[in-house]
Amino acid sequence: MPANNTLMRTCSYCGRENPDGAADCQECGTDLAITPAPKLSAEQWGCLSKWARVASIPFACLACLWLVFIAGGRTDSPEEFDMALRLSFFHAAPVAFASALLSFRVTQRWHLPLRYVSIGVVAILVWILCARFLENAHYSHLRARGIDPEQVLSSLKPESQR
């Protein structure tokens, strides 16, 4: 603040300090009433970009391997089949998280609301698709052995619900 205790407004374009009552910058003419949203500095962007770059790709590879190993698992009993179907959403979570990290990396220059919405949509869609993939893999394992999955599930229901 200056020595005469008057408030000064800094121009967001050129950085000049203007008197508090000024509507436009005295240096460049920029409207002082418009205040831009706070932006991340280059160091902050660099830190976020480096973190996403370092973490996203190896984690995505591990998450996809996890999904393949879970999908390749064999279910021998009706209880195992039922449990595999119930846990498919939990088993798909690492892939959804990895897709969110990759989306975070891809969308780093977007506006924040659009960025967060797109990351959320991508993660949720990947989560649902991976969970459905796991369910279909479990069904196809039983069908490949000549077992009807629906009959297996109905054998687990109590007599009162059949």
- For 57, residues 6+ apart whose C-beta sits below 8 A from its C-beta are 102
- Give residues with Cβ within 8 angstroms of 137, minimum separation 6: 71, 72
Residue 105 has pLDDT above 80, yes or no: no
Q: Where are the domains of the chain?
A: 1-36, 42-161
User: pLDDT tens, 5-14?
Assistant: 566 778 877 8
Q: Is a pLDDT exceeding 80 seen at residue 35?
A: no
Per-residue model confidence (pLDDT) at position 124: 92
∠ CA 135-137-142, rounded to 5°: 100
107 or 3: which leads in pLDDT: 107
Separation CA 139–CA 49 (nearest Å): 40
* C-alpha distance across the termini of the chain, in Å: 79
**What is the pTM assigned to this prediction?**
0.59
- Of residues 114 and 159, which shows the higher confidence score? 114
Q: Which helix (H) or strand (E) holds 8?
A: strand 8-10
- Residue with more model confidence, 39 or 87: 87
- pLDDT digits 0-9 by tens, 42-98: 555 555 556 666 777 788 888 888 888 888 877 777 888 888 888 888 888 888 888
Query: CB 102: neighbour CB atoms within 10 A?
Result: 20
Buried b (16+ CB within 10 A) or exposed e, 24-39: ebeeeeeebeeeeeee
Structure tokens at 2: 């200056």
Q: What percentage of the chain reaches a pLDDT higher than 70? A: 80
